[in-house]
């Protein structure tokens, strides 16, 4: 059987010292990390709050000092969205752009408050389509209880852009007493996942040119604030949360391990993968651990609190399928390993680039 036509989703170029931008620089893997560490961070150093950027979460959490109420901090995050196609089963670029930034704030422990929207339109785009996308954004904002408060529109010439690129930035409040981050992670902590993985990435892939394979999947794009705030309100020992978008659960676990200086061991068969995702991945030669999600959360919580945290997560719509997938360990710091079905272990590496570019 011949390979599907994969021309449109480009093999990530593995030339680490390439003088040009390659697709992998946007893939959320090693090349993305290197671009940030070696090009952007040195350039942006020396500004008053620059230390914040070096923490490299998906949100900055800013202590604004006495101007903000006692102990409260501001979370601030941004993401651009260049997904192709713009419409896919279960959603479009609009709700993806709202939920993506809402979730980056939510996993920082913030209650998302307000979003900005920057739209870069290609001359010739149908206004009717833009209208549908804007309405989807409004509906997603209302569902996430967040407000779109400021925006900007630019138009680029026909033949440039891809119809529409969106950027959303967001701010949220982190309450006094919330202290999350890699420094909180300890050996013995449990690694929890809010539900089945791979649905967003495969849903987008299912409508790419030449790749229709009739999967009945829809994107899992949804706001995770009820889950994250539920965990914080329950007073459980949450150490760190991340949403496994670009690069999938594998990239997120690697970031957590590297940033915290601990090892992470997962049990491969405990990672919930829907049958259709597994079938599509098998057909295409992809690993579900590396497929992007939007609306899932990886939570690291003190070991003794794991069951109570799962109960709390399962009481929310986005966490109904929550399960424990692994444990933080003092061994192999910075490295993620998976115990396989046949009893062995394998290293779950940070991808060089994403398997499927432009799905967020």
Closest distance to a copy of itself from the beta carbon of 153 (Å):
6
Site string for a copy of itself, 172-211 (x = CB under 8 A): -x--------------------------------------
| Minimum CB distance to a copy of itself smaller for 121 or for 267 | 121
Judge whether 117 and 137 are in contact, CB under 8 Å. Answer: yes
**3-class secondary-structure state, position 107:** helix
| Minimum CB distance to a copy of itself smaller for 252 or for 312 | 252
List the one residue out of 307, 78, 51 whose CA is nearest residue 181: 51
Name the one range near a copy of itself by CB under 8 A: 17-25, 196-204, 287-295, 325-333. Answer: 17-25
| Minimum CB distance to a copy of itself smaller for 41 or for 308 | 41
Element (H, E) at 118: strand 111-122
Closest distance to a copy of itself from the beta carbon of 150 (Å):
4
| Minimum CB distance to a copy of itself smaller for 22 or for 298 | 22
Judge whether 107 and 297 are in contact, CB under 8 Å. Answer: yes
Name the one range near a copy of itself by CB under 8 A: 111-119, 223-231, 320-328, 337-345. Answer: 111-119
Site string for a copy of itself, 244-263 (x = CB under 8 A): --------------------
Binding to a copy of itself (CB under 8 A): which residues in 136-155?
Answer: 137-138, 141-142, 145-155
Binding to a copy of itself (CB under 8 A): which residues in 22-41?
Answer: 22-27, 32, 35-36, 39-40
Closest distance to a copy of itself from the beta carbon of 341 (Å):
35
Cis peptide before 160 (omega within 30 of 0): no
Q: Binders of a copy of itself: how many residues, by CB under 8 A?
A: 90
Does position 160 bind a copy of itself by CB under 8 A? Answer: yes
Alpha helices by DSSP H, 176-305:
199-205, 225-233, 248-260, 275-284
Closest distance to a copy of itself from the beta carbon of 45 (Å):
7
How far are the Cα atoms of 28, 314, 340 from residue 255, in angstroms, in the given order? 10, 25, 21
List the one residue out of 70, 177, 101, 86 whose CA is nearest residue 134: 86
Binding to a copy of itself (CB under 8 A): which residues in 39-98?
Answer: 39-40, 43-50, 52-53, 58-60, 62, 64, 66-69, 72, 74, 76-82
| Minimum CB distance to a copy of itself smaller for 77 or for 219 | 77
Does position 287 bind a copy of itself by CB under 8 A? Answer: no
Considering only 6, 121, 279, 308, the residue that binds a copy of itself (CB under 8 A) is: 121
Judge whether 18 and 217 are in contact, CB under 8 Å. Answer: no
Q: How far apart are CA 198 and CA 272, in angstroms?
A: 9
Name the one range near a copy of itself by CB under 8 A: 119-127, 217-225, 253-261, 271-279. Answer: 119-127
CB-side neighbour CA atoms (13 Å) of 33: 18
CB-side neighbour CA atoms (13 Å) of 275: 1
Name the one range near a copy of itself by CB under 8 A: 157-165, 220-228, 283-291, 295-303. Answer: 157-165
Judge whether 180 and 108 are in contact, CB under 8 Å. Answer: yes
Q: How far apart are CA 343 and CA 21, in angstroms?
A: 41
List the one residue out of 163, 3, 192 whose CA is nearest residue 83: 163
Q: How far apart are CA 62 and CA 173, in angstroms?
A: 10
C-alpha radius of gyration, the chain, whole number: 20
Does position 225 bind a copy of itself by CB under 8 A? Answer: no
Binding to a copy of itself (CB under 8 A): which residues in 299-358?
Answer: 357-358
């Amino acid at each position: 059987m011949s390979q599907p036509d994969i021309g449109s989703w480009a093999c990530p170029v593995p030339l680490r010292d390439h003088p040009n931008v390659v697709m992998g620089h946007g893939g959320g893997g090693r090349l993305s990390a290197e671009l940030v560490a070696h090009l952007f961070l040195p350039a942006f150093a020396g500004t008053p709050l620059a230390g914040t950027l070096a923490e490299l979460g998906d949100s900055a959490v800013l202590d604004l000092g006495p101007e903000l109420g006692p102990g409260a901090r501001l979370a601030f995050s941004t993401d651009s969205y260049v997904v192709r196609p713009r419409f896919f089963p279960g959603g479009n670029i609009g709700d993806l752009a709202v939920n993506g930034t809402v979730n980056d704030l939510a996993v920082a422990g913030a209650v998302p408050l307000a979003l900005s929207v920057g739209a870069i339109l290609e001359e010739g785009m149908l206004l009717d389509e833009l209208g549908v996308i804007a309405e989807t954004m409004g509906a997603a904002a209302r569902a996430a209880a967040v407000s779109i408060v400021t925006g900007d529109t630019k138009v680029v010439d026909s033949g440039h852009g891809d119809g529409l690129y969106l950027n959303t930035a967001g701010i949220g409040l982190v309450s006094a007493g919330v202290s999350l981050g890699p420094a909180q992670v300890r050996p013995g902590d449990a690694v929890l996942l809010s539900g089945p993985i791979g649905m967003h990435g495969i849903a987008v892939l299912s409508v790419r040119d030449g790749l229709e394979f009739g999967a009945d999947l829809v994107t899992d794009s949804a706001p995770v604030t009820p889950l994250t705030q539920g965990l914080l309100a329950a007073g459980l020992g949450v150490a760190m949360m991340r949403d496994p978008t670009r690069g999938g659960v594998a990239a997120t676990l690697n970031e957590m391990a590297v940033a915290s200086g601990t090892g992470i061991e997962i049990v491969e068969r405990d990672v919930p993968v829907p049958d259709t995702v597994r079938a599509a991945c098998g057909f295409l030669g992809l690993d579900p651990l590396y497929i992007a999600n939007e609306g899932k959360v990886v939570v690291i919580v003190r070991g003794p609190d794991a069951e109570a945290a799962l109960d709390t997560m399962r009481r929310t719509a986005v966490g109904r399928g929550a399960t424990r997938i692994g444990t933080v360990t003092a061994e192999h710091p910075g490295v993620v390993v998976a115990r396989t079905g046949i009893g062995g272990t394998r290293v779950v590496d940070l991808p060089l680039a994403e398997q499927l570019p432009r799905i967020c």
